[in-house]
Each structure stands twice: as structure tokens, then as C-alpha cells.
Structure 1
Amino acid sequence: MASAPSPHPGMGAVFRDKSCTFRTWAPFADAVSVHGSFTAPPWTIGIDLAPDNPAPGNGHDYWSVHVNCVQDHDEYKFVIRRGAQVVWKLDPYCRDATEENNSVVDDPAFDWGDHRFHMPNWNELVIYEIHIGTFNNTDGKPGTFDDAMKKLEHLVELGVNAIEVMPAQEFETTTSMGYNPNLLFAIDSAYGTQNAVQKFVQAAHAKGIAVLFDVVYNHFGPGTGDCLWQFDGWSRGDRPDLGGIYFYNDDRAICDFGDRPDYGRPEVRQFIRDNAMMWLHEYQADGLRFDSTLNIRRAVGHGGDRGEIPEGWGLMQWINNDKDGELPWNLNIAEDLQHDEWITKETRSGGAGFNSQWDVSFFTALRDAVTPSSDDSRDIGAVAQAIQRRYNNDAFRRVIYSESHDEVTIQKGEWLGRMPEKIWWGHPDWYEPKKRSTLAAAITFTAPGIPMIFQGQEFLESGTWTDNPTIKDANSMLDWSKKERFRGIFELYRELIAVRRNLYKNTRGLTGQNLNVFHVNRAGKVLAYHRWMDGGPGDDVIVVANFSHNAYDSYTIGFPRAGNWYLRFDSDWSRYDASFTNTGYDTTAHADGRDGMNCCGNVGLGPYSAIILSQ
């Protein structure tokens, strides 16, 4: 007897009450069936799917069937027939897959309890970027979400209130940074199950930590293998090298990574939009970080730029509008790296609608100011410009950092290395790498923007990071023994984060919009700026940074008001490292104008150090 289409909505395998709706998109198929552990006999005999829209002229884009007697965690595959061609395919919407390359029925239901997490205000966020496979490892295998959950107390102690998880979707390689997605809806089997991710988010929320997930929509693959590539057997006749229904079938498919999805197909747009909503609802994510939005909005790749992709821009607007309509407090971040204000402009004005974007120019200015061996090579004017950059006249429309996964790994054969390694290769734990890398961190936590650090940065992790433990001389797994070995550096980061978040109620200005870079001494390599929200004691903050090897026992700068100014942080404090010299101190500002300010006072600056003062 011919099957009937399922009356139930949803794509992939939608499980309910020991039965399941199976639905897939296969517009060029002549027939579709589902085979699995629940068919009799298992895998040999399939159950036919019926067209959802069988009326003449409508085509057979979607196929579905409702099957009784299906158990949670049953395995299955779609079998697609097109002429004489027969292909067995994983379900693009499946929530789990086995090592044997079968899709798994996975009930997304999870008991979240009565706890309701409140996303921190964006101006109070401090983000910690983690890679699940290398963050916490105990047995030589890639780490899991369960392993990462065991280190949440470390993040509480550090003081961060948001985690950004690098892509955890299923990938084909044994280890990966995650930017080669194969199954967008499935958690990589090496990292755990859907339920493990939900438990991780629940545990983070219970500790007051938001969770953001990194998503990859600018390309699929490379190595989309048994799933999306030529999914229903169709490919363009004169271009069998192209990917079929999920991909562009012209030169717009060309990308520097895998292959670019066809954002012009409504079904592909829906597929990507559904994935974004899955993270926000099924995992209760507090936001998303979109990888390389440039490659969604422009057809760039292999050294060429083939122009704009308007439908890619429209897709980003659609997802951001839906997020804002349902969860306006959640944070969607773009990695565009082109300094384009339209990325974070509201969609009603034609913008892409992201809430914030990575600002690589901030990293570049800091790197160029702290890594050269000679002080003469440090351009603090460029640092001043980087501090002042903002998008859409909003200080928190950008994420700023001195380390991220992009800058600490191996790219195109070049070993980039972490910031201490960049400063003195092979000697990351010596005086100058400690001083200058923490100076860069101090600027990151006091400049306008949402600050972010990369895993291990807080205890001076060094070397070149990679996801692959087989690469000789590279560092994959974090060395957690360094937390105690460099306990002082950890305390430095902990204090910086506390000051940035105004946990002591005397540095509110670091969460404010206002900035005045009032002192730029290019010859002496000293920079000073004023941060405030409303102004006044406990709000006005003065930051002074010394990018030279010289110490200044008494350096005169401007202050906005007379009176006592108290040292809230000094990266030169000897508690952080025995080689540091305690040069900073409380000071008193007097009513003599300086640097365009009403008052002036003297401060102490250690070599390669930053101080933070407030009233």
C-alpha cells in the first residue's frame, strides 16, 4: 500500500510518543524511502515517503511519512532513487549520527527545570572563547561537553560571564576547529550528545554564565561526503564537480573553505534559519557567533571577488529579525572583519542586524604595539585609534580581544602563536612576554567594546594552538598545571575582569559609552584615556598605559576632577609576578589644567604596564 505524507510538521526525524515523522527535501528524486533499525527486517526493507504536495504541477520537493513503533536512538538513512541512481543519505536535519555514518532519532526534549537564566547586559559581558575538544582533556582523547562542564567553576573564579563555544557541529575529521561542518544539526560524536550540550548550558546558566555558539553558514564542508553533497543525486549536467541542491551551481560556489550554500533557494535558506533557531530554543543558547559573514554576503574565494550576494544579506537579516523578535536580549555576533558598520546596523535601515561584530583591527593594533623587540617600533597612535573605533556610535557593537583562535593557530603553514610566544618565541614565560601580553590584556578590558579572551590566556598558555594533538611542537590540550605555576597571572586577569565588570562598584565607567583619549605621548610611549557612564566618583575611570621599558616614578597627566584618585589596578603589582615592581600608587589631582582636562596629577608607571584609577 502506498504511503501517505505525514500530517505532522517538522523536518528530519520528528519523534513523538514512540512514533516519528520523517521528512526530507529532494526535488529531483523519483522516490524516497527510509531504512533503519526499526524496519522489518532491519535496513533491508524500507518505508516509502510520499510527496507532501502531490497535486499536478507542484513538483515533489518535500517527501514525508509518519512511522509507528520507532524508539528514541533508533538509526536510519534516507534512500533516494533518481532514474537508475540509488543513493543512501544521512538526514541533513538529524540531531545525531553514529560512527558508522547512520542518522539517529534523537528526542530534543529536555527538562530545563524552573530555572530561568537572565542574559547579562551586553555592556557588562566578558566572553571566554573555548574549543570543546582541547579545553579540558584527561585521557588523551578530545575533550567533551561533560569534561568542559567540570571546569565551569574555574570560569566562575576567573569572573567571566559568557562562554563562546567554537563550532561543535558534526565534522568528518577526527579532530577539528569545527569550521568544516558536515551535519549542522548534529553534535560531533567526539564531543557528546545533544543531551550533554543541554546539560552544559544548564550548568553554565546555574553559575551565571551565558553560552554563545559559533555557527558556520558561509560554507559547508569541505568533505560534506555522505550528506549534503549532491543530496538527491542531481548535479548540473555540465558541472558534475558542483554540489547539487544545497549549493550554488555556478562560480558563486567557490569559497576558500568548503562550498558555498545556495542562499537563493528558499529551502536552503529555511534549512539555515531553522538551524539558528535550533541553537536558540533547543539548547537555550544566549546568542550566536556567525563565522565569516563576508562569505555569506559576497562571493569571494580563491583570490577572486565575484560580487555581492543579496540573498545572503537577506538571510542574515531574516535570522537576526527572528532572534530579535523572540529573544531580543540575546547577542548575535558577526565575524566580518571588514570594519563595515552596515553589519551592525538595524535591518529596518538596511543593515544586516547583528548586535556586535569582531574587531580584528583592535587586535592588529595591539599586536603591532607589544610584539616588536624595540620600543621605537611601537605605534601608540595606532593603539589610540583602535581604542576609539566604534560601530553605529555604540561602544558595544564590537568584540575586542588580544587573542582568539584565529590569531593563535597555524594558518597557511604559518605558526602564528599566542601573544607571549609572539613577543619572545621560545621564551613565553620570561619577563617581557609576561609584561607586554598582560599590558595588551589590560587595554582589552578597559577599551570600549565587549572584551573576549581565548582559553588558557588567563594562565599564560603559550606556543601555537591547534585542535590536532598529532602536530609536532604545537599545543593542543590546555596545560592546566600552568594555572598554579602562573597563579599571579591568573590573579591579574581575575582582577582585570572584576574591574571591567565593576564588581567592586568603583569603576562603572568601564561599562559606559563615553571615552576621551586625552594623552598620546608618541615619544615616551604613554597613552591615557578617560572612560565614564554618567561621571562622578565611582564612575569616572582613568586608564594610563606605558608601552616602553622605562619606568616613570612621577608622570603628569590630566584628570577630570580634583581630589584623591585611587589605584584600582596596576599590572606591575608584584603579587602578580615577583619580577614586577609596584610602581603605581594613589594620587591627588589639583586644579591645574592639563591635556585638555580641568585638573592634573602625577602617576607611577612600571615598564610595559597599565594602571586604572577612580575616585
Structure 2
Amino acid sequence: MKRIYLVVLILSVLATACKKGKVSPESAGPVTPVTPVIPVDAIPSLPAAAKDGVVFINNGASAIVTLYAPYKKSVALIGEFNDWQPTAMKNTADGNIWWVQIDNLNPSIAYAYQFLVDDNLKVADPYCEKILDQLNDSYIDQTTYPGLKAYPTGKTTGIVSVMQANQPTYTWKSTSGFTRPAKNNLVIYELLIRDFTVEHNYSSTLQKLDYLVGLGVNAIELMPVNEFEGNLSWGYNPSFYFAPDKYYGTKTALQNFIDECHGKGLAVILDMVLNHSFGQSPLVQLYFDQPSGKPLAISPWFNTNSNIHPYNVGYDFNHESAATKVFAKNVMKFWMQEYKIDGFRFDLSKGFTQKGSSDDASFSAYDASRVAIWKDYNNYIKSIDANNFYLILEHFADAAEEKVLADEGMMLWNGLNVNMNEATMGWSANSDFSWAFFTRHGFTRSENLINFIESHDEERTMYKNLNYGNATGSYSVKDLAVALKREEMAAAFLFAVPGPKMIWQFEELGYDVSINYNGRTGNKPIHWEYFQQTERKALYDAYAKFINMKKKNSIFNATDAIYNLTAGIKYIKLTEGTNTVVVIGNFDVSSKDTNVDFGASGIWYDASTGSQMTLNSTMYTKTLAAGEYHIYSRMPLNGG
């Protein structure tokens, strides 16, 4: 009788404490949690083996499943292991973590499961490595994802998570012997799996690695590959951060892709989207106010208002929140360790702020809190992998702020699309791309500035050349052959600027389909036949030559640079020791006279033509035809 009375008493106390100490998710106002009045010996403590999400014990026969969900009244686990009947989860003393141990599992079986929260909300596990999507999985073919588990139709609704103790594992081969390229010699190829091959998967992309090796790039930057909403996406609408999107292939296929890249000397950089998430995310759903269509004020991760800055989409993470910091760091650590990647490119890194602003000028102003957030994340990444790991920011903020981040070793995007495209089109007025030089940013090292002409986010330069190019007489930039040669000239200048570079996929073939074709983020035509076309293949070969010269000649990372990029005649002069390189070109659409001090007379080698030139004085005076360029050097260039 005493035991029965004690049990009843404990249950009564627990019930009372739950009423007093838990806050309803429907309350959108600020909340001060009440400390539960529960005897310490009656509180189910979190097992030592537990971690966020699922951890298997007892050789996979048992699983401890946890969910961070403060202020909830109840959480239950439902899934194939209990025929979708709720198994109540226990709550820790602080009310933050819910957990339960599930026994009698078959380690070889993949179990579908969800959390049932407050008896009315079903969500998948935010830490799961695989999801099932009733709406979109049917469009994933067996070649891309063989043996995909069927959705448990009739048992539940919404996104379902999957756990398996003995899941397929990948045996790494090449990673241990791979050395990441030095930052200054980094040449990145940005790639969207969906639009790179017709099959849109890791296996088909692997078949094109020799094409990239031939081009000379030494890193691949994959646009987001973690689960995003739908299938046909750029990936900037993320929902699950630990699960690779099945539309591109399996987990082991992605690991194999990275391994094979390493085997061919290619680093792999992942595009990481931690500024925001979308409504499919369980983190969003757990604290969401349906009437207002906004996250609740008690959300541990998200701001109630997503328009804290002018470029936000989806629901805005609050990176001042401790819960967000923990989650973000867990995501980073997972991809670094589980997939052995070499770097992150952080999307919209300027958005990691709580300072509201409605215009870009205010948004871009120096923000000490944002700097502190990025220093913290950078130090965390270094604590996991200090071996030349690439942390790349899409920042575009105040130069003083970017300098602080660069001084910490972070790398920053620097887009040249507008000005360089004006130059290739033959319009001189806005064609100065001298912002490409790291000294213009106040940086002390060129390795911290990644220059590019195109990224996924800009209009394709060849499209604008062919549609809006300038013309004089019979010379017209709208002519395909002329436009391609001007792209070649622009590339010669790009790779002459010291520091790392990035190329957008098929830029090296003069891809000329507008970014707005089929909608900005819609599928784009895949033109591998361009590689067989003589004039386009010549552009590829020129890119390969410039990249090879950059990697083999240290002068292209020289800190001594003189340049004039304002008018039709543009030049860059680099000096290292006794060698000098001058890249000079006519971006006008008519012939122009030049008068440039080369600094030395005598023989100069022209890497663009393979010929030699003799200067009788230090001055280079010559009439350059429209679109004509040269790469002169005092000593022959390796790979030139």
C-alpha cells in the first residue's frame, strides 16, 4: 500500500508541476519558464549515452531518441517499432529535453519515425540523416536512389524521419593522402548537381571529373545538397540539415563522390545555408503560430519576424540564441567529420545579425555583434579542423568589417560580374573591375578574397554579350565568335589578379542561357555539346591555360601590382624579383593606341601567342585591335 501511495503521490506532483512549469506553444508573447517543483529522485535524468537525435546502444538493439523542445506539455515517439502508437517520452529537469529508449530493434532494419508533440503536431527528427517525403519521393528514380524505403502511407502524415543502426557504410580510400590546395592557388568550380548532367546525381557528375581536372580547377563547390523543399531547387530553401537530399543520390554516393574528388586532387566545398530555414523544417514547425504565419516568440531558434534584413527568405535564424549556436555548430561538425569535406561557403553570411534594417546600406554597415558571431563560428571550425579548412563568406558588407573577418583567416566572395560584363560587352563607362585587388579592400593577404566573374546568382555574361553587346562597323560583340574571344580576354585578366578564383559551371564554355530562363531558380538546359564546338572548346582551353599558369607561377600571387582598368585599354602589371608580367587588352570595340611603361626593354615573352617581342625602350606603344590581348613576361612562364 505504501508503494502504491508513493507512486500516486509522485504522479500527482508531476501533473501539478507540468501544469505550473510548462508553457503553451500557442502563447506568442515573451515567456519566463517556471522551475518544475519535482522531487529530484523522481526526475528521469538523461542517459549518459544520449545525444541530439538518435544514438544506438546494445549493438543496435536499442536506441535512445531525444528532442530538444522546451515549453512543450508532452512529446511521444511514434513509428514502425510501435505500430505508430505513441510511446511517451520523458522530460529532463530543466524541461528542455525529451527522451526515450526504444528496445528490441533489429539493427539491420530502417525504421520510420516521428515525434508527436502536445498530442497534435507530428514532426520528423531535425537531426535525422534521412527523410521520407510522400509528395516528392515518387519523382526520385531507382538509378539515383536504389531501394528507397516506401513512405508509410496510411500510418501517418507529413515528413517522416528514418533511423537504422547498421546503415550502409562507406570505406574511405583517398582522403588520408589528400592535401588541400593553398588558399592563394585555389580555383573553385561552383556546381549545381541538378543542372550539370541530365541524370542529376553524384554518379553522373563523377563521370565528368576528368573534364574538370583537364580544366585545371582544384576545388568543387557544391550548391546545397542537404534536404530542401521539393526536388527542383537551388537548395537555398533548406529544411533538414543532416540529411543529404535524395534527389541527388544516397549518403554513400555523396561520400564516394567526395572521396573520388580527393583522389583526383579536388577539394570539395559545401554551400551551407544557416541564415534561414523553411516551413518543412521541424525546428520551424515546433514553435509556429499558424494565424500569424510566423514563428512564436518562444522559439529557441527563429526570429518572429523574418524581415530583419532586406534579403531574407524563409524564416530567419537568431544567431544570438544559444540554441541556434549549438545547432549550427552541430551541423558544421557533422559535415566536416561524416563527409570529410574541405570547406563551407556560407550563404548570406551578412544575415547573421539581430540588427534590423530595411535597406542594404544599413544592413551592410559595420556590425560588431555579427563580427563576434563569425569569430565564434570560425574558432569552432578551427577547433575541429585547423588544416587549411576553407571558411568562405557571401558577405558583401562594410569593408572594415570584411577586413576584420579576413584578418581572422576567413575568405570572402568578391563578385566582378557587373563591371567585367560591361567590359566584355564593350561599354567602357562602368567597366572598372579594380575592386578585384585585395589591397582595395584593405586586406593584408590576397588569399582572403575570392574573385569571380559569374556565380549561380548573376546573369550569364555571354547572354548579355550576345544580346546587349556594343558594335562598331563590322565588329560586333553580338557575334558569337567575337563574344567568346572577349570572354577569353576577361579570363586572362581574372587569373592575373592575385588570390583565389571561382568559376560558375559552363562559364568556361560560354554558356549563354539567361539566368531567368524557366524562372530564376528553374531547371536550365544542359549543353555538353558545347565542348565539341571549336570556338567554345577554344575558350575552355584558354581557361585551362590561364589556370595552369596561375598554379605554376608564383608571380600571379605577387603583392606588387600596378594596374589601370578604367578605360578601353586595360592592363595589370605584376612584379616578383627579376620577373614582370603585363596583361594588356583592348576592351573597346575599335582599335586603340597604347602607351604603357613596362619597366624594362629587351625581349618579352607572349604567353597568349607563344611568340616573343622586343622592346627598344621601357614603353610599350602599339595599336591594339578591338578584343586583342597579350600576356607578356620577362621570363617564360611555366604552363604558358
| TM-score (structure 1 length as normaliser) | 0.80
Q: Could you tell me which of 230, 241, 245 is aligned with 2:294?
A: 241
- 3-state secondary structure, aligned to 2:421: helix
| 1:560 is the counterpart of 2:560 | no
* Larger CA deviation: 435-444 vs 157-166: 435-444
Superposed CA offset, 1:348-394 (max 9, x none)? xxx7x45211112x33321232235xx5x4445x2345446344222
CA–CA distance in 1 between the matches of 2:566 and 2:236? 42
Alignment of 1:107-118 (within 5 A): 107=167, 110-113=170-173, 115-116=175-176, 117-118=178-179
Query: Shift of the alpha carbon at 1:110?
Result: 3.3
Query: Shift of the alpha carbon at 1:213?
Result: 0.5
Q: Which amino acid aligns with 1:262?
A: N
* Residue pair 2:275, 2:349 contacting (<8 A) in 1 also: yes
Superposed CA offset, 1:154-176 (max 9, x none)? 10111100111111121112311
CA–CA distance in 1 between the matches of 2:434 and 2:373? 36
- 3-state secondary structure, aligned to 1:345: helix
* Residue pair 1:33, 1:79 contacting (<8 A) in 2 also: yes
* Residue pair 1:77, 1:88 contacting (<8 A) in 2 also: no
CA–CA distance in 2 between the matches of 1:527 and 1:379? 13
| 1:292 is the counterpart of 2:348 | yes
| 1:516 is the counterpart of 2:562 | yes
| 1:607 is the counterpart of 2:633 | no
* Residue pair 1:20, 1:70 contacting (<8 A) in 2 also: no
- 3-state secondary structure, aligned to 1:359: strand
* Residue pair 2:86, 2:116 contacting (<8 A) in 1 also: no
- 3-state secondary structure, aligned to 1:181: coil
What residue number does 1:577 align with?
none
Q: Could you tell me which of 136, 140, 164 is aligned with 2:221?
A: 164
- 3-state secondary structure, aligned to 2:351: helix
Query: Shift of the alpha carbon at 1:339?
Result: 4.8
What residue number does 1:173 align with?
230
Query: Shift of the alpha carbon at 1:239?
Result: 5.6
Q: Could you tell me which of 401, 418, 442 is aligned with 1:342?
A: 401
Query: Shift of the alpha carbon at 1:120?
Result: 0.5
Alignment of 1:178-327 (within 5 A): 178-221=235-278, 224-225=279-280, 227-231=282-286, 234-235=287-288, 241-243=294-296, 244-250=299-305, 256-297=312-353, 299=355, 312-327=370-385
CA–CA distance in 2 between the matches of 1:544 and 1:81? 66
Q: Could you tell me which of 122, 125, 128 is aligned with 1:88?
A: 122
Structure 1 residues 300 and 479: alpha-carbon distance in aligned structure 2, compared to 1, 3 A threshold: farther
* Residue pair 1:428, 1:462 contacting (<8 A) in 2 also: no
* Residue pair 2:223, 2:235 contacting (<8 A) in 1 also: yes
Identity of aligned residues (%): 24
CA–CA distance in 1 between the matches of 2:290 and 2:228? 29
- 3-state secondary structure, aligned to 1:399: strand
Alignment of 1:120-159 (within 5 A): 120-138=181-199, 143-159=200-216
Query: Shift of the alpha carbon at 1:337?
Result: 1.6
CA–CA distance in 1 between the matches of 2:628 and 2:103? 66
- 3-state secondary structure, aligned to 1:182: coil
Q: Which amino acid aligns with 1:95?
A: E
Structure 1 residues 151 and 21: alpha-carbon distance in aligned structure 2, compared to 1, 3 A threshold: farther
What residue number does 2:54 align with?
13
Q: Could you tell me which of 560, 582, 594 is aligned with 1:542?
A: 582
What residue number does 1:28 align with?
71
CA–CA distance in 2 between the matches of 1:560 and 1:326? 48
What residue number does 1:396 align with?
447
* Residue pair 2:348, 2:394 contacting (<8 A) in 1 also: yes
What residue number does 1:587 align with?
613
What residue number does 1:49 align with?
89
* Residue pair 2:53, 2:128 contacting (<8 A) in 1 also: yes
Structure 1 residues 314 and 10: alpha-carbon distance in aligned structure 2, compared to 1, 3 A threshold: farther
Query: Shift of the alpha carbon at 1:144?
Result: 1.2
Q: Which runs of no fewer than 5 residues in structure 1 stay unpaired? A: 409-417, 571-583, 593-598
- 3-state secondary structure, aligned to 1:59: coil
Structure 1 residues 425 and 70: alpha-carbon distance in aligned structure 2, compared to 1, 3 A threshold: farther
CA–CA distance in 2 between the matches of 1:300 and 1:561? 55
Query: Shift of the alpha carbon at 1:341?
Result: 3.9
What residue number does 1:530 align with?
573
Alignment of 1:333-482 (within 5 A): 333-345=392-404, 353=408, 355-360=410-415, 362-372=416-426, 375=427, 377-379=428-430, 382-387=432-437, 389-408=440-459, 418-425=460-467, 430-465=480-515, 476-482=524-530
Structure with more helix by fraction: 2
Structure 1 residues 475 and 31: alpha-carbon distance in aligned structure 2, compared to 1, 3 A threshold: closer
Q: Which amino acid aligns with 1:370?
A: T
Superposed CA offset, 1:548-595 (max 9, x none)? 23346x85532234432211125xxxxxxxxxxxxx8421244x4xxx
What residue number does 1:576 align with?
none
Q: Which amino acid aligns with 2:466?
A: W
What residue number does 1:76 align with?
112
* Larger CA deviation: 290-299 vs 384-393: 384-393
What residue number does 2:14 align with?
none
Superposed CA offset, 1:500-523 (max 9, x none)? 222xxxx32113333122x5683x
Structure 1 residues 297 and 474: alpha-carbon distance in aligned structure 2, compared to 1, 3 A threshold: closer
* Residue pair 1:74, 1:105 contacting (<8 A) in 2 also: yes
- 3-state secondary structure, aligned to 2:316: coil
Superposed CA offset, 1:395-425 (max 9, x none)? 22111111111103xxxxxxxxx11111122
* Residue pair 2:124, 2:282 contacting (<8 A) in 1 also: yes
Q: Which amino acid aligns with 1:292?
A: L
CA–CA distance in 2 between the matches of 1:21 and 1:566? 68
Query: Shift of the alpha carbon at 1:601?
Result: 4.2
* Residue pair 1:345, 1:354 contacting (<8 A) in 2 also: no
Larger Rg computed on CA atoms = 2
Query: Shift of the alpha carbon at 1:215?
Result: 0.6
CA–CA distance in 1 between the matches of 2:129 and 2:478? 42
Query: Shift of the alpha carbon at 1:445?
Result: 1.3
CA–CA distance in 2 between the matches of 1:229 and 1:308? 29
Structure 1 residues 542 and 472: alpha-carbon distance in aligned structure 2, compared to 1, 3 A threshold: closer
